[in-house]
Amino acid sequence: MKTYQEIDRHARDVNPDRQSAVYSVASALAEKRVNAFQRDYADPDRLRRLAGQIKQHTLEHLDHYLQMAETSFQENGAQVHFASDGTRCNQIVLDILKKNDCRKVVKSKSMLSEETELNGFLTEHGIDSVETDLGELIIQLDNDHPSHIIAPIIHKNRREVARCFDREGLGDYNDEPEVITRRARSYLRKQYMDADAGLTGANFVVAESGRISLVTNEGNARFCLAATRLHIVIVGIEKIIPGDRDLALFHNLIARSGTGQRLTVYNQFIGGPKAENQPHGPQQMHVVFVDNKRTEALASNCREILRCIRCGACQNICPVYRQATGFAYRGTYGGPVGSVLSPLLAGENFAQKADLPKASSLCGACRDVCPVDIPIPDLLLRLRDKGKRESSKKAGAGTPPMGIWAIMSTQPAAWKAALRLGYALNYPPTQAFPNPALQAWRSVRKFPPWRGGKFRRWMKDRKKSSE
C-alpha cells in the first residue's frame, strides 16, 4: 500500500512556478466565495444544509428518481442508456456515433469523460473529439490532464498557453490573454461548424421534467449543440435532483461556491431533441447514465460524497491541495473530494488509493465550504479506518505500528525502556540516532521536548514519602 508520503514527496518536488500558480488562483477563488456568500446571504449554512438534504433524499431514493428521469426523458423524445462502468459508457457513445455516421464530435467539459478516458477511446476508433472549454482544449493540445475540477489548467501560466498555441499552429507566440482567447475562439468556431455531434455532461438532471441543466462561463456547451445533429449526454447517476424548482437553490450555490459569481454566465436547460417547429438543434438526444462504482459508493458508509456537485470549493480552500497541487492525487479528482471519491471509485483496487484519505490535516475547512454540506473530514476518517482494516486483514493482526503498541502496553519492562528511549528525541539527530536513515527522518521533524516517564517517578516518590 502506498503511503501519504507520496503526496508529501509530490508537494516537495512540484515545480515552484506551478505551485504558486495553483496557490494564488485557489486562494483568489476561495476569497471570492467568502465575499459572495457574505454579501448575499444572512445564513448561508441554512442553504448548504437544505441542499445537502435534497441531495441526500435523492440518493436514498435513487431507484425511484432514476426511473422517473428515464420516463421523463423518453416522453421528451430522448433516448436513455445505462452504463455499468466506464468501458461500457465509452462503447455506448461509440455505437451511437457510428450508427449515425458521425466522424467528428465537439465536446464540453465533463469530469466523467476524464474518468472513462473517452477522448482517447474515440480517437482510437477514428472519431475526432475536440474539447471546446478553453482550459480543456489546452489540456488536449498539450496531451496533459486537468488538475482542478472547474479550472483544469490552474497549474499552467499564460506563457505555457502561448507556447502551446504557437506549437500547434494557432498563431505565433503571444501571451496576451485577449489574443489567446481570440485565437481559441476562431479555432473553435471552425470545429463547431464541422462537427456532427455534440457531447456534454450535465451539472444537474431533473427527474420530474426530464431536463438537464448545464452551467458554463464560456457558452461553449450551447455552441456544441448549435450546428450538430446529435446530442449525447454522459452523466453520473448521482447528478439527479427531484424537480425544476430545486434548480434555483443549486444554481445559486454552485456559482457562488466555485467562482464567487451570483450566477454562472450561461445556464442551459435542455429537455430533449429539437421539436418539429424549432428551426435549429440536434435531431436526436441520447442520455447515458453511468454507474462506474457509484452504487458501491452508495452502499458504503461514505455515501454522502455522492451529493457532490463538483464546484471545486473544497479544493480551493484545502491547504494540502494548494501545496501539493491536483496531480499529487493520482486521479481524475484532486483535493478533499478526490481523497474520498477516488478510493471509492477504485473498487477492488481500493488499496492503491488508500493513502489519499491520510493526506489531510483534518482542519475541517472543506466541510465548512461544501455547498451540499458533505462531512468530508468524517468520511476521510471512515476511509482511513477501512484502509487500516483491509491492510491488517492482509498482513494479519498485530502488524506495525499497532503490533508494537500492543507489546509495549502489555509489558511494563518494554514500556519503561521505550520511555527512556523517548529522551533520545531531545538530542540532535546525529547524536540520537546512529542510523543515517533515522537521522534523515528526524532531521525534517520537530518534536516538542520529550517529558515521558515523569508520572511514574512522581508516583514512586509519593509512595516512598507516605511510607
Residue 49 or 456: the one with the smaller Cβ distance to ligand SF4 is: 49
Q: Quick count: other Cβ atoms within 10 Å of Cβ 197?
A: 26
Q: Which stretch binds ligand SF4 (CB under 6 A): 213-221, 290-298, 369-377, 418-426?
A: 369-377
When the beta carbons of 138 and 369 are compared against ligand SF4, the nearer one is: 369
Quickly list DSSP for 281-333.
S-SEEEEEEE-TTHHHHHHSTTGGGGG-----HHHHH-HHHHHH-GGGG-SS-
Under the binding rule (CB under 6 A), the answer on residue 374 touching ligand SF4 is: yes
Residue with cell 444537474: 204
Place of cell 515523569: 454
Return the range that interacts with ligand SF4 (CB under 6 A); candidates 19-27, 213-221, 304-312, 423-431.
304-312
Which residue lies nearer to ligand SF4 by CB, 29 or 162? 29
Place of cell 457510428: 98
Among residues 237, 379, 373, 241, the alpha carbon closest in space to that of 313 is found at 373
Q: How far apart are CA 231 and CA 4, in angstroms?
A: 42
Q: Establish if 310 lies at the interface with ligand SF4 (CB under 6 A).
A: yes
Name the residue among 334, 298, 331, 69 with its Cα closest to residue 202.
69
Does residue 319 contact residue 363 with C-beta atoms inside 8 Å? yes
Decide if residue 112 touches ligand SF4 (CB under 6 A): no
Count the residues of the shown chain that bind ligand SF4, applying the rule CB under 6 A.
15
**Tell me, what amino acid is at 25?**
V
Q: How far is the CB of 245 from ligand SF4 (least distance, A)?
A: 20
The 145-174 contact track toward ligand SF4, x by CB under 6 A, reads: ----x-------------------------
CB-wise, 230 or 372, nearer to ligand SF4?
372
- CB nearer ligand SF4, residue 55 or residue 229: 55
Measured distance CA(408)–CA(238) in Å, rounded:
47
Neighbours of 279 (CB within 10 A): 5
Report if residue 309 touches ligand SF4, rule: CB under 6 A. yes
Contact string (CB under 6 A) for ligand SF4, positions 254-293, x = contact: ---x------------------------------------
Site for ligand SF4 in 19-58 (CB under 6 A): none
Burial class (CB within 10 angstroms; exposed 0-12, middle 13-18, buried 19+) of 324: buried
Options 66, 80, 153, 369; binder of ligand SF4; rule CB under 6 A: 369
Nearest approach in angstroms of CB 266 to ligand SF4 is 20
**Residue 308 C-beta: closest distance to ligand SF4, Å:** 3
Q: Determine the angle formed by the axes of helices 335-345 and 376-395, rounding to 10 degrees.
A: 40
400: burial class by Cβ within 10 Å (0-12, 13-18, 19+)? exposed
Task: Find the shortest distance in angstroms from Cβ 204 to ligand SF4.
Answer: 12
320 near ligand SF4, judged by CB under 6 A: no
380 lies in the site for ligand SF4, by CB under 6 A: no
| Site of interaction with ligand SF4 (CB under 6 A) | 149, 257, 308-314, 337, 369-372, 374
